[in-house]
Amino acid sequence: MSSIAKESLPMSSLLRRRLPLRLLGSAALLVAATVSLAGCGVNYASNDSVPPGDYHTRFPVAVAEAPTALDVYPTGGALDQQSIDNIRAFAQRYREFGDGRIVILAPASERGRDARVIDQIRRALAGSGLRGYVSVGSYPAANPNHDSPVRLVFQGLKATVQGQCGVWPTDLASGGSIDGWKNDSYPNFGCATQSTLAAQVADPRDLVQSRASGPGDVTMRLRAIGDVRDGKDPGTEWTIKNTPIGQVGGGS
């Protein structure tokens, strides 16, 4: 009878008998904390389009017809050797990828002062083999208080980034919204890297197609075949000599 009576007791009575009061208090606090935090949840559901996460997709490098420019800063009213070397390299790039004419643009307010510089640029281009491909014009100086360069421009094949850097439509700190909680890359991420790659590539066509393979090294092939016939290892033996770090740079 005693066992039957215990089983017929309500569950709350059994819990009070079997669980210490300390555990019951901890459980009550846990339930209260869970209920209070339930109202702090954030709904991340959104119908907004998800921006592409890969910066190669957001800022693709394209090969297209675009202007290539060189700014020349005269020193003492004339061109120094560094400027002349830059003009010759500019002429070489025009021969490789340029089309049409090279335009020399002087600041509109200083065109008379730069007449000597324009003549030196013409002679430097002619010395590089470009005769009859040059015209002269002017452009409005952006700030009269700054030294405005003489600009050389031609139209030709060039690697460019399809997008504008320096655009910040949202706050990176996202202090007043939950945009920064989504772990997305910020809008400008990758733009500088892609722009630098496009500016540094020597041949823009290398970004869209591979080059033809060069001729094989016949001497190396014959040596390898001869080693195989003689039962030798055709691989190249590399000798590596480790130098103590204390001797690098002439240290003792």
CATH code of the domain covering residue 111: 3.30.1330.60
Flag whether 141 is in a domain: yes
CA 229 → CA 216, 221, 225, distances in Å?
20, 12, 6
Amino acid 246: pLDDT: 62
* Domain hosting residue 85, numbered range: 65-159
185 contacts: CB under 8 Å, gap ≥ 6: 53, 55
Flag whether 193 is in a domain: no
Residue 151 near residue 67 (C-beta atoms within 8 A): no
Amino acid 1: pLDDT: 45
Amino acid 91: pLDDT: 94
Residue 102 near residue 154 (C-beta atoms within 8 A): yes
Beginning with the edge strand found earlier in the chain, give each strand of the sheet holding 61-72 in spatial order: 61-72, 150-161, 98-107, 134-139
> Read out DSSP for 170-191?
S-SS-TTSSGGGG-PPPTTTTH
Amino acid 58: pLDDT: 85
Closest CA to 116 of 164, 148, 78: 78
Flag whether 16 is in a domain: no
Amino acid 51: pLDDT: 56
Residue whose token pair is 């041949």: 203
Where the chain has pLDDT below 70, the residues are 1-53, 111, 174-176, 179-180, 246-252
Flag whether 209 is in a domain: no
Residue 55 near residue 193 (C-beta atoms within 8 A): yes
Flag whether 215 is in a domain: no
Flag whether 44 is in a domain: no
CA angle centred on 136, ends 110 and 200, rounded to 5° = 95
Number of domains within the chain: 1
Is this prediction's pTM over 0.85?
no
203 contacts: CB under 8 Å, gap ≥ 6: 96
Flag whether 35 is in a domain: no
Flag whether 125 is in a domain: yes
